[in-house]
């Protein structure tokens, strides 16, 4: 009995050693990479809270008891009026349960920006923890989404939003919570080895069934699996890199499958690979669109304004690149607000290297009558229209003596596009057809220079931008045609919005 058991174990070990030599990438190289540079995968998850309760506090003299009324929440177009929002009187507050008990999360609150609000967290035991005071930021009753990274001292199960001040038309429209979920990199080799050992064990009982089939297929794809997984460990841009890795894996399967099909030219192989090619054509633009959304909306709000999310460092609670709050600005200083897009923001530059702060530093070396402060209101793909909306909402809080708009050639097209999107969309949409057109255009340039692929891409772009029919097709239309032909579009876009900023 013991001898038979020993032979069985020896056979399994021999089989494991033989199969391990066929899988060096997944079972040896990937675990070594995890040990060397491994950390964890992080994925942001957004959840919109759709139901809440308006609670009226009991009066101190006992004349009125506390009352609760359930309400529904939903995001409205940014800048809409607050007629459909939940109204709050001075003695009422809005309470909403979070998806789970949390300590670290990003909180979005859409409310009437003319008034301030106090946000508290409630523990499961009912203890209140102060989280955030939302200041008033505007003089028009419009809905605006305010964002803050929350770090609660204790886990909170609910949030409570109460009016700041006794008078005013306080109204809350929507609440959204963004959390990060993590998965240790070590889970990958752990899962791979568990699957490997299970497959080896199954060889003794069903050598011609699932275990052998899985090991043979695994051996053929071993190098591809390692090539796909290792970059996800090195770069640690989890949502982005995983989407890119999945795309690479799909392309590799199509290429290998086509090679196999044309080598044997069997009908099942041709049908199988035809299905793979169709799947790739349909899926790849959607995967790239999902990749763009995942990477873009982790840092930016999903509204048409796509304002930046506070990060607790360079991006403050007002969604601008300024280390400090509005109350840190002294009205006696000479305060300059810089508006613009990524050129103003300082994309890929350190905070101090952005144009506004270089100007502040240079002016500080001169004998100015008053200290000069620069405030950077720029963000990627902004435009005069979006800058005007931001200035209107929070500009007065920073006491500007001078407002500088840094115009560039992308603003002319962007302004018209955003104007149209505000009229037709509730939030930003990444269209797979637009992604497909961009991919085909680049393929045409690389492979064929000018070909029918370019025409197909143009048709796809046209289909994806039908809702933008009154927006010029060319992004740089101002420089690609006589100025007289562009004047009408310039006037109804950039010129109009720059006048609004000036007023």
Q: Are residues 175 and 202 in the same domain?
A: no
List helix spans (H) across 70-209: 187-205
Q: Could you report the per-residue pLDDT of 52-72, keeping only the tens digit for each? A: 999 887 554 444 446 788 999
- Tell me if 23 is assigned to some domain: yes
Are 57 and 91 spatial neighbours (Cβ–Cβ below 8 Å)? yes
Residue 132 located in a structural domain: yes
Radius of gyration over alpha carbons of the chain, in Å?
Answer: 29
What CATH number corresponds to the domain at position 120?
2.60.120.260
Per residue in 187-230, pLDDT tens?
A: 888 888 888 888 887 776 655 555 676 777 788 878 878 877 77
In angstroms, the CA 76 to CA 248 distance is 38
Token pair 């039908």: residue: 466
Question: 94 lies in a domain?
Answer: yes
Q: pLDDT for 75-112, tens place per residue?
A: 887 667 778 888 888 888 999 999 889 998 889 898 88
* Residue 443 forms part of a structural domain: yes
- Inform me whether the pLDDT recorded for 455 exceeds 70: no
Binning the chain into helix, strand and coil, the percentages to the nearest 5 are 50, 25, 30
Predicted pLDDT of residue 385? 92
Question: Could you list the residue range(s) of the whole structural domain that residue 470 is in?
Answer: 417-493
Among candidate residues 105, 116, 106, the one with its CA nearest the CA of residue 144: 116
- Name the band, by pLDDT with cuts 50, 70 and 90, for residue 463: very low
Tell me, yes or no, whether 69 and 150 share the same domain.
yes
Can you tell me the distance from the alpha carbon of 222 to that of 237, in angstroms, rounded to the nearest whole number? Answer: 23
Task: State pLDDT tens for residues 401-446.
Answer: 999 999 998 899 888 888 887 776 655 655 555 555 555 555 544 4
Element (H, E) at 459: helix 452-464
Q: What is the DSSP letter of 307?
A: P
One-character DSSP codes across 18-72: HHHTT-HIIIIIHHHHHHHH--EEEEEEEEEE-EEEEEEPPPTTSSS--EEEEEE
For residue 165, is it left (φ>0), alpha (ψ between -120 and 50) or beta? left
Total domains, the chain: 3
Share of the chain above pLDDT 70, in %: 69
CA distance 335 to 391: 14
Q: pLDDT grade, residue 150 (50/70/90)?
A: confident
What mean pLDDT comes out for the span 292-320? Answer: 76
Would you say 399 and 337 are in contact if contact means Cβ atoms under 8 Å apart?
no
Q: Which of 197, 222, 247 is the last residue of a domain?
A: 222
pLDDT digit string, tens, across residues 30-48: 888 888 877 777 666 788 8
If asked whether residues 65 and 149 sit together in one domain, one would say yes
**Tokens linked to 8:** 């069985």
- Residues 100 and 12 occupy one common structural domain: no
C-beta separation of 384 from 497 below 8 A:
yes
């Amino acid at each position: 009995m013991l001898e038979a058991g020993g032979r069985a174990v020896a056979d399994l070990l021999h089989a494991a050693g033989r199969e391990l030599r066929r899988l060096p990438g997944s079972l040896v190289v990937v675990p070594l990479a995890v040990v060397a540079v491994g950390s964890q995968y992080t994925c942001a998850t957004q959840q919109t809270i759709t139901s809440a309760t308006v609670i009226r506090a009991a009066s101190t003299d006992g004349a009125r008891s506390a009352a609760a009324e359930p309400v529904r929440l939903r995001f409205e177009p940014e800048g809409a009026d607050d007629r459909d929002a939940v109204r709050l009187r001075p003695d009422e507050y809005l309470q909403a349960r979070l998806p789970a008990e949390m300590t670290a999360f990003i909180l979005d609150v859409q409310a009437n920006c003319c008034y301030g609000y106090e946000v508290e967290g409630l523990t499961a035991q009912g203890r209140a923890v102060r989280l955030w005071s939302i200041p008033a930021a505007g003089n028009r009753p419009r809905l605006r989404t305010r964002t803050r990274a929350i770090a609660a001292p204790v886990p909170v199960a609910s949030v409570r939003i109460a009016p700041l001040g006794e008078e005013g038309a306080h109204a809350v429209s929507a609440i959204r919570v963004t959390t990060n979920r993590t998965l240790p990199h070590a889970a990958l080799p752990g899962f791979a080895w568990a699957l490997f050992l299970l497959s080896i064990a199954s060889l003794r009982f069903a050598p011609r069934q699932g275990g052998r089939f899985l090991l043979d297929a695994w051996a053929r794809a071993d190098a591809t699996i390692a090539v796909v997984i290792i970059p996800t460990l090195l770069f640690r841009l989890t949502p982005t890199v995983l989407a890119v890795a999945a795309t690479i894996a799909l392309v590799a399967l199509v290429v290998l499958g086509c090679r196999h099909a044309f080598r044997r030219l069997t009908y099942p192989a041709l049908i199988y690979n035809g299905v793979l090619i169709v799947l790739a054509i349909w899926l790849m633009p959607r995967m790239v669109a999902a990749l763009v959304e995942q990477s873009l909306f982790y840092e930016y709000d999903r509204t048409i304004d796509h304002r930046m999310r506070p990060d607790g460092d360079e991006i403050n609670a007002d969604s601008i690149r300024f280390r400090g709050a509005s109350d840190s600005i002294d009205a006696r200083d000479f305060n300059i607000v810089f508006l613009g897009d990524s050129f103003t923001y300082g994309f890929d530059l350190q905070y101090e290297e952005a144009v506004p702060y270089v100007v502040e530093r240079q002016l500080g070396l001169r004998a100015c009558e008053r200290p000069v402060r620069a405030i950077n209101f720029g963000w990627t793909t902004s435009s005069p229209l979006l800058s005007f909306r931001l200035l209107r909402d929070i500009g007065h809080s920073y006491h500007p003596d001078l407002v500088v708009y840094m115009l560039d050639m992308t603003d002319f097209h962007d302004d018209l596009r955003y104007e149209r999107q505000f009229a037709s969309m509730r939030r930003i949409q990444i269209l797979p057809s637009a992604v497909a057109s961009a991919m085909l255009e680049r393929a045409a340039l690389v492979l064929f220079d000018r070909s029918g692929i370019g025409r197909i891409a143009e048709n796809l772009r046209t289909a994806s931008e039908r809702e933008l029919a009154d927006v010029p097709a060319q992004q740089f239309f101002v420089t690609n045609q006589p100025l007289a032909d562009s004047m009408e579009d310039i006037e109804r876009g950039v010129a109009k919005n720059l006048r609004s900023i000036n007023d």
